[in-house]
Amino acid sequence: MNFILLLLASALFASAALASRRQKVCLEGIVDPPCMDILDAQRAIYQYRSRCREYGCHNGLCWSYCSFGKQWCYTSLASYSQSYQYVECDTRDDCSGCWLCAGSCTV
Protein backbone atom coordinates (compact mmCIF):
# COMPACT_ATOMS: atom_id res chain seq x y z
CA MET A 1 0.00 0.00 0.00
CA ASN A 2 2.80 2.43 0.86
CA PHE A 3 4.45 1.58 -2.48
CA ILE A 4 1.25 2.53 -4.32
CA LEU A 5 1.05 5.82 -2.43
CA LEU A 6 4.70 6.54 -3.23
CA LEU A 7 4.09 5.95 -6.94
CA LEU A 8 0.97 8.10 -6.87
CA ALA A 9 2.76 10.88 -5.00
CA SER A 10 5.70 10.78 -7.44
CA ALA A 11 3.36 11.07 -10.41
CA LEU A 12 1.43 13.92 -8.82
CA PHE A 13 4.55 15.88 -7.90
CA ALA A 14 6.04 15.37 -11.38
CA SER A 15 2.87 16.53 -13.10
CA ALA A 16 2.26 19.45 -10.72
CA ALA A 17 4.81 21.60 -12.52
CA LEU A 18 2.85 21.20 -15.75
CA ALA A 19 -0.66 21.14 -14.34
CA SER A 20 -2.95 24.07 -13.89
CA ARG A 21 -4.58 24.71 -10.51
CA ARG A 22 -7.94 23.64 -11.97
CA GLN A 23 -6.83 20.13 -12.87
CA LYS A 24 -8.50 17.52 -10.66
CA VAL A 25 -7.34 14.14 -9.35
CA CYS A 26 -9.24 11.53 -7.39
CA LEU A 27 -7.86 9.62 -4.39
CA GLU A 28 -10.85 7.48 -3.49
CA GLY A 29 -10.53 5.65 -0.18
CA ILE A 30 -7.63 7.85 0.96
CA VAL A 31 -9.13 11.30 1.51
CA ASP A 32 -12.52 12.92 1.75
CA PRO A 33 -13.64 14.46 -0.59
CA PRO A 34 -11.99 12.00 -2.99
CA CYS A 35 -11.55 14.48 -5.90
CA MET A 36 -9.66 17.76 -5.55
CA ASP A 37 -7.17 20.13 -7.18
CA ILE A 38 -3.81 18.50 -7.82
CA LEU A 39 -1.95 20.65 -5.27
CA ASP A 40 -4.52 19.83 -2.58
CA ALA A 41 -4.09 16.14 -3.46
CA GLN A 42 -0.33 16.40 -2.88
CA ARG A 43 -0.96 17.85 0.59
CA ALA A 44 -3.54 15.13 1.34
CA ILE A 45 -1.09 12.36 0.42
CA TYR A 46 1.56 13.85 2.72
CA GLN A 47 -0.93 14.11 5.60
CA TYR A 48 -2.18 10.56 4.95
CA ARG A 49 1.32 9.05 4.98
CA SER A 50 2.44 11.02 8.05
CA ARG A 51 -0.27 9.47 10.23
CA CYS A 52 0.97 5.88 9.75
CA ARG A 53 2.00 4.00 12.92
CA GLU A 54 3.14 0.56 14.06
CA TYR A 55 0.45 -2.08 13.49
CA GLY A 56 -0.37 -5.77 13.55
CA CYS A 57 -3.00 -8.50 13.66
CA HIS A 58 -4.38 -9.58 17.06
CA ASN A 59 -7.27 -11.95 17.77
CA GLY A 60 -8.26 -11.81 14.08
CA LEU A 61 -8.51 -8.00 13.92
CA CYS A 62 -6.09 -5.35 12.61
CA TRP A 63 -4.70 -2.90 15.17
CA SER A 64 -2.32 0.07 15.32
CA TYR A 65 -0.85 2.27 18.00
CA CYS A 66 -2.72 5.47 18.74
CA SER A 67 -1.22 8.90 18.17
CA PHE A 68 -0.20 9.21 21.80
CA GLY A 69 1.81 6.91 24.06
CA LYS A 70 1.63 3.13 23.76
CA GLN A 71 -2.13 2.90 23.61
CA TRP A 72 -3.56 0.99 20.66
CA CYS A 73 -6.85 0.49 18.84
CA TYR A 74 -8.45 -1.88 16.37
CA THR A 75 -8.48 -0.25 12.93
CA SER A 76 -11.01 0.50 10.20
CA LEU A 77 -10.95 1.17 6.46
CA ALA A 78 -13.56 3.91 6.90
CA SER A 79 -12.58 7.50 6.05
CA TYR A 80 -13.35 8.60 9.64
CA SER A 81 -12.36 7.27 13.04
CA GLN A 82 -14.73 5.68 15.58
CA SER A 83 -16.71 3.97 12.77
CA TYR A 84 -16.74 0.63 14.64
CA GLN A 85 -16.18 -1.08 11.25
CA TYR A 86 -13.36 -3.44 12.22
CA VAL A 87 -10.98 -5.05 9.71
CA GLU A 88 -10.50 -8.81 10.04
CA CYS A 89 -7.06 -10.35 9.44
CA ASP A 90 -5.13 -13.59 9.42
CA THR A 91 -1.64 -12.05 9.48
CA ARG A 92 0.04 -8.66 9.83
CA ASP A 93 0.22 -8.47 6.02
CA ASP A 94 -3.58 -8.04 5.93
CA CYS A 95 -3.31 -4.77 7.91
CA SER A 96 -1.89 -1.25 7.62
CA GLY A 97 -0.62 1.27 10.15
CA CYS A 98 -2.18 4.06 8.08
CA TRP A 99 -5.76 3.11 8.87
CA LEU A 100 -7.80 5.04 11.44
CA CYS A 101 -9.07 3.71 14.75
CA ALA A 102 -12.38 1.84 14.51
CA GLY A 103 -13.06 2.44 18.20
CA SER A 104 -11.44 4.00 21.22
CA CYS A 105 -7.79 3.57 22.20
CA THR A 106 -6.85 1.30 25.08
CA VAL A 107 -6.02 2.75 28.50
User: C-alpha distances in angstroms, 48 versus 22, 42, 55?
Assistant: 22, 10, 15
Is the pTM higher than 0.75? The answer reads: no
What distance separates the 2 farthest-apart alpha carbons in the chain? 49
Walk across the sheet containing 55-58 and list its strands.
55-58, 61-65, 72-76, 100-101
Domain boundaries, the chain: 2-50, 55-101
- What pLDDT sits at residue 106? 87
- What pLDDT sits at residue 24? 72
- What pLDDT sits at residue 48? 60
